[in-house]
Amino acid sequence: MADPLALSPSSASLARDRLGVPSVVFFILSAVAPLTVIGGVVTTAYAVTGLTDIPAAFIAVALILAIFSAGYVAMARRIVNAGAFYSFISRGIGRPVGVAAAMVAVLAYNGLQFGLYGAFGPQAAAYFGDKFGWDLSWWVYALAAWAVTAVLGVLAVDLNGRVLAVLLTAELVIIVVLTISGLADPAGGVSFATLSPEDLFTSGVGAALVIGILGFVGFEQSAVFSEEAKDARRTVPTATYLSLAVIGVVYAAASWAMAVHYGDDQVVATAQEQGPGTLFGMGGQTSGEIAQVLFLTSLFAAMISFHNAVARYMFALGRERVLPGGMGRTYARTGSPIVASVVQSVFGLAVIILYAVAGWDPFVRLFFWIGTTGGFGVLLLLAATSASVVGFFARDAQGENVWRRLIAPAIAFVALVAIASKAVDDYATLLGVAPGSTESWLLPTMYGVAAVIGLCWALVLRATRPQVYAAIGLGANAATGHTTPLLPPDQTGGAAEAGVDRQQPVG
């Protein structure tokens, strides 16, 4: 009898035609984790940064990302690759920059995944300690969540999607209930001050906008699942725009409701005192109790989604031999990236053990610091991807109009670079630490180090393994060793219209 855990002999490809628009949207929104962001990130952001313009930041970021998405989905229609950012940047700017971006992506998404353990553990410990009197350390609950996530990570991706669908629906309903309850019981009249864009042009704007970006991290994952999507040309754009709309409305409304319910001048102090309870306290006792449970399931759903995304990034890099080739292997029965999934689980286990042994605060130093830094890394990738869209279509417009191939990505690039630059200036505010402290420069600098390592590795591959270098960014074709040459416009055979990209990576 064949070993049920055997790897597929043709294991360079993920499972095809598994995910429709609803499933991809559930993966995206679960990665975004609305209840986690509102109950954890937003309340912690109010408490740590002291900023009250968080609702306005969400609106501004939603608009910027909608513009970014015009070029992003146009490129996604032509490049179907689980590597997403890495593949896009390789094809639009060049292989060396693409590999540098890959290292930044692996670091950023792993940071986002690890951060979730830092929130789940303490919140689960507090909840079960209060309800059942269990006196267990945070890391016990973190390890339990890690174990379940590790198992789900090697199962069929559509099964993960069904699990996420149930959890996500419940948390969206409770967010709406709490938001309405908060707005219906204002502290002193309904104020729109925290929604005003004028407040964004103040000190700390970089921190506020990075928090806004962090809240949306995951919306870009539609392209990560493009190889497993049904009709990727339709699924990826629809899922991206639908997710952006839902996220923008839910975040802005809920964070504004907190300011209205507690008062613009008291929401920061309340968040500092109550933490996630700031959100739960906007409803009655029953809805608050339900929200606490769903906050835990929201964190768990985000773990599943980010684990899947990280594993697929590492799978894409392994398939192209940028990372060790074993990463590019899939599980025969489910088509999931089993080796990359297991490696990601090992990394997560190491982080939980490190924080437990060192005695570091998991909620602030793991969930908020490392998670927020992961969001900053995604911000850098968004900016680079905007530039890659311009470069990709500059060589061949492929029927795209000037808005999608030039104007929108150029606007997004300028806006995202400006946010990233301001974020570096305000990084101490973002973390809630003293200006000039080690954390305020060390954490963002890690991405520079990762990018340099990736750039150098790409140059090594070009000099020592030219076949591997030539296949960078080609996705499933990289594993076969076959590449499709760039054909003259009169020989494309309708490639653009069919959604088939025939271009090689530049550089």
pLDDT at 489 > cutoff 50: no
pLDDT tens digits for range 93-121: 999 999 999 999 999 989 999 999 999 99
pLDDT, averaged across the chain = 82
Q: How many helices (H) and strands (E) does the chain have?
A: 22, 0
| Among the listed residues 169, 195, 181, the one whose alpha carbon sits nearest the alpha carbon of residue 280 | 181
Q: Which residue has the tokens 């410990």?
A: 125
Above 90 in pLDDT, residue 376? yes
Domain 24-475, second-level architecture: Up-down Bundle (1.20)
C-alpha distances in Å from residue 22, one per residue of 70, 166, 224, 294: 20, 12, 15, 21
Torsional sign, CA 146, 150, 155, 156: positive
CA dist 306 and 444 (Å) reads 21
Q: What are the pLDDT digits (tens) for 146-186?
A: 999 888 877 655 555 566 677 778 888 899 999 999 999 99
SS3 annotation, 269-329: HHHHHHCCHHHHCCCCHHHHHHHHHHHHHHHHHHHHHHHHHHHHHHHHHHHCCCCCHHHHC
**Look-up of token digits 């948390």:** 171
Rounded to an integer, what distance in angstroms lies between the CA atom of residue 301 and that of residue 307? 10
Over residues 9-24, the pLDDT tens digits come to 434 444 454 556 676 7
Question: Each residue of 355-370: pLDDT tens digit?
Answer: 999 999 999 899 989 9
In the chain, domain spans:
24-475
Tokens of 191: 């104020």
- 505: pLDDT strictly greater than 70: no
Dump pLDDT digits (tens) for 270-329. 999 998 889 989 988 888 888 888 888 888 878 887 888 788 888 888 888 888 888 888
Cβ–Cβ under 8 Å, residues 216 and 244: yes
Structure tokens at 347: 């990394």
Question: Which pLDDT band, with edges at 50, 70 and 90, does 36 fall under?
Answer: confident
